[in-house]
Structure 1
Amino acid sequence: MFSYPINEDVSLRLLEVRDAEPLYAVLRESESYLRRWLPFLDNVHSVQDIIQFIESGLARYAHNNGGEIGIWYRQQFAGVVGIHFINWTNRTTSLGYWLGEKFQGHGIMTQACGALIRILFEEYDLHRVEIQAAVDNMKSRAIPERLGFRQEGVLRQTEWLYDHYVDHVVYGLLKDDWLTTNTSPVTP
């Protein structure tokens, strides 16, 4: 199974069924905070729903097609970064992420995404990684901007958030761009 220590505080690990309860607890604890940007919260009613989410990620991982990666901060479950389906023909993928409210402001997500991007480019030999974020979600948009992604455009009304549509900014990072600008990749 995938496990990756980033530093003494932050580590990544493929989500397993045993992580369902801590994941559910962080979602519920941060629900009002996360609701502004995560469209799926009304579909999460129990730990069983989280188990199905984790099992889906494990199946994708087993088929070399992405997966759901848990983020731990000082041994506590903090959030998720998902590697969406991998297009092996074009060697591309996209990332999606969320972090519990009390874990904000420590650079955790930037470190987690940076580590995964290094793995995707160096070990998976992917060509392109994409991140989309709601136009007004400045914290989420800051991650690709810090990591050297280029803003490529805006998708109008692309996501339904409970009672309204939101536009997404599309960010892309090519392996060549990453290799040129990343002189000190994130390593454990």
Structure 2
Amino acid sequence: MQLIQWTPDHASDLFRLIETNRTHLSPWLPWIKNTNSLHDIQSYIQRSLIAASKQEFHFGIWLDQQLIGSVTIERLHAIHRVAEIGYWVAKEMSGKGYMELAVRRLIAYLFQDLKLNRLEIRCTPANQRSQRIPQKVGFCYEGRLCEAIYMNGRFHDLLIYGLTYTRWDELERLPKQDNTDPAATLSLPPLM
């Protein structure tokens, strides 16, 4: 599995994946309803590349050269050494451990290479599959942000999960099952 930063060459693959999974993704991702053409995806990728210069990064998750989802680093703040992780995966790949692996690889990169101190994941209470990811990788539930996101015509609460470097480092030292993929790679530019 590879995490590769979006490039304009990925637009067709990304558009196909979104089209195939529109019903699956639209309850959780408000931008899906405004993404209706290849041009919309090309614009998104261009904006994500511009945002990369401002410490926000968007990646495709590739398995055997097939795009299966996306993971993002958002709200990266160099001074406070904090960032938020966002993600989504194709319906047919959901529940197979690929997102957990992708998020674990991204966490290791953010803590080990970028020396961040804190990571956050936010999701709606109704999105139980999304909640499982932070729970599986060691994040702690920290609370509820009331009416923090506007989606599908109304406001929704967000659950916030946090993970500090100290907690992650302690968890990494514990004996664990082999749930890592040594072939998982992360193709990232230098961030700071």
TM-score (norm 2): 0.88
- Of 9, 12, 27, which aligns to 1:21? 12
Aligned-residue offset at 1:59: 2.2
Aligned-residue offset at 1:109: 0.6
Give the partner amino acid of 1:167.
D
SS state at 2:115 partner: coil
RMSD: 1.5
State whether structure 2 residue 35 is matched by structure 1 residue 44.
yes
Alignment-derived partner of residue 70 in structure 2: 80
C-alpha offsets along residues 32-62 of structure 1, whole Å, 9 cap, x if unaligned? 111111111121121111112112222233x
C-alpha offsets along residues 59-88 of structure 1, whole Å, 9 cap, x if unaligned? 233x26121011012221011101103111
Select the structure with the greater relative contact order (CA < 8 A; seq sep ≥ 6): 2
Identity in percent: 29
- Of 131, 137, 141, which aligns to 1:147? 137
Number of equivalenced pairs: 178
Q: How does 1:56-95 map to 2 (within 5 A)?
A: 56-61=47-52, 63=53, 65-95=55-85
Q: Matches of 2:47 and 2:169 in 1, distance apart?
A: 32
Decide which moves more: 148-157 or 70-79: 70-79
Alignment-derived partner of residue 131 in structure 1: 121
SS state at 1:96 partner: strand
Q: Matches of 2:151 and 2:9 in 1, distance apart?
A: 29
Q: Matches of 1:59 and 1:178 in 2, distance apart?
A: 30
Structure 2 segments unaligned to the other structure (5+ residues)? 184-192
Alignment-derived partner of residue 100 in structure 1: 90
Alignment-derived partner of residue 171 in structure 1: 161
Tell whether the 8 Å contact from 1:60 to 1:85 is kept in structure 2 after alignment: no
Give the partner amino acid of 1:121.
F
TM-score (norm 1): 0.89
Point out 4+ residue stretches in structure 1 off by more than 2 angstroms: 183-188
State whether structure 2 residue 3 is matched by structure 1 residue 12.
yes
